Amino acid sequence: MEVNNRSELTVIILAAGEGKRMKSDMAKVAHRICGKPLAGYVLEAALGTGAGDCVVIVGHREDQVRACLGDKVKYVSQKKQLGTGHAVMQAADIIASKTALSDVMVLYGDTPLITAETLKEAISAHRLSENAVTVITADVPDPSGYGRIIRGSGDRIKRIVEHRDASPEERQIKEINSGMYCYKAGELLKALDRLDNRNEQGEYYLTDTVAILAEGGKKAGAFKTADSREIAGINDRVQLAGAAAIIRERILRGHMLGGVTIADPGAVYIEAEAVIGRDSEILPGSFIEGRTIIGERCLIGPGSRITEAEIGDGCKVACSVITGGKIPPGSNIGPFEYINAYMQKGNGQK
């Protein structure tokens, strides 16, 4: 399902938070899975929608976030982290520069499992329903700790209630808020103007915009994802490892469907930006990292590590390490060779 007309969609990615539970000197969204930062996966999904503008809200360790994402996006600084609503307020001038009926999607930089296909489906549902706001939701077996979706007449959303504020009946609801939203730009600006921070945390919550719009008679709808894993945020190293397992599986599956043989997927590590040609085979204990390009009909492994290198068609690399450089087609490397093009030393090629 395609999203047409790039100028009609702006994506805002919230990436200003500190992420204290990561217990790290790094910005949370700069932590990497398979060689790519968390926010990089979100940006990739956002760009996959055909968005005209991608805007990243930065704050804590913003230099690291900017370094991770480069110049594909616009950046807006949130000097004080006063809540998700406050973060989006920082992009108000950009939102105001769009037409009132254009769409704005808000995402989080710590949700690396979200896919472009899901986002495109959510945007299409939002437009088809002519909603002022559409919340991306999911049903989960254990919704403890999540905001619950409270629906009213016509299956519209009335409000979102946080777990701590929910009644016993509301806590039985399995449909949760992902924190990802699609808005009509004009309606979002009006709702932001009405946000206040009269709450226990003294923060401006983007969640409140849904109730503001619904109470004002605007259509607030939901797009429910089929795979609840896609909306999972990363808050600590345990969740980071869980997301990494899913992304590794996606990467390996993509290569296998593209014609690469991986006899034991559990014993192979391939990073997100690697390219592998058809009819190549990756044996156990192999690590393929960075922007490595492996040609067709290659045999890699067992026990090889290739980083930022280009391997020609028909090569064999057994029990060896290659860092950088180009290996000519038909070369046989190893066993037990070390080739480092950056240091200009190694045992050579056979």
Query: If the chain, 350 residues long, is cut into consecutive pieces of 10 residues, what is the mean pLDDT of each piece?
Result: 61 95 96 98 97 96 96 94 96 95 97 98 96 97 92 89 90 96 98 92 93 95 96 96 98 98 97 98 98 98 97 98 97 96 56
CATH code (residue 264)? 2.160.10.10
Query: Alpha-carbon distance 24 to 237, whole Å?
Result: 10
3-state secondary structure of 69: helix
The pLDDT assigned to 178 comes to 96
3-state secondary structure of 13: strand
Q: Is 21 a catalytic residue?
A: yes
CA distances from residue 234 to 87, 100, 231, 239, 246 in whole angstroms, order as listed = 19, 33, 10, 5, 13
Name which of 87, 85, 37 is nearest 59 in CA terms.
87
Domain count, the chain: 2
Q: How many residues does the chain have?
A: 350
Phi then psi for residue 292, to 5 deg, are -70, 140
Bridge partners (DSSP) of residue 137 are 177, 224
Whether residue 213 sits in one domain with residue 87: yes
pLDDT tens figures, 307-350 = 999 999 999 999 999 999 999 999 999 999 999 987 754 444 43
Task: Specify if 236 maps to a domain.
Answer: no
Q: Are 283 and 262 in contact (CB under 8 A)?
A: no
Instruction: State pTM to two decimals.
Output: 0.93
The pLDDT assigned to 348 comes to 43
Query: Alpha-carbon distance 7 to 174, whole Å?
Result: 36
Task: Specify if 196 maps to a domain.
Answer: yes
Whether residue 54 sits in one domain with residue 173: yes
Q: Give the residue numbers spanning the domain of 278.
A: 258-346
Whether residue 267 sits in one domain with residue 197: no
The residue from 213, 231, 249 where one domain ends is 231
Task: Specify if 126 maps to a domain.
Answer: yes
Task: Specify if 246 maps to a domain.
Answer: no
The residue from 190, 216, 231 where one domain ends is 231
Whether residue 218 sits in one domain with residue 168: yes
**Given 6, 21, 171, 253, the catalytic residue:** 21
Whether residue 145 sits in one domain with residue 35: yes
pLDDT tens figures, 114-134 = 999 999 999 999 999 999 999
Whether residue 212 sits in one domain with residue 63: yes
Whether residue 159 sits in one domain with residue 18: yes
CATH code (residue 181)? 3.90.550.10
Sequence-separated (6 or more) residues with CB below 8 Å from residue 281: 260, 261, 262, 263, 298, 299, 300
Whether residue 265 sits in one domain with residue 218: no
Whether residue 98 sits in one domain with residue 42: yes
Whether residue 272 sits in one domain with residue 223: no
CA 60 distance to own-chain centroid: 18
Whether residue 170 sits in one domain with residue 55: yes
Q: Are 125 and 244 in contact (CB under 8 A)?
A: no
Burial 180-190 (b: 16+ CB within 10 A, else e): bbbbbbbbbbb
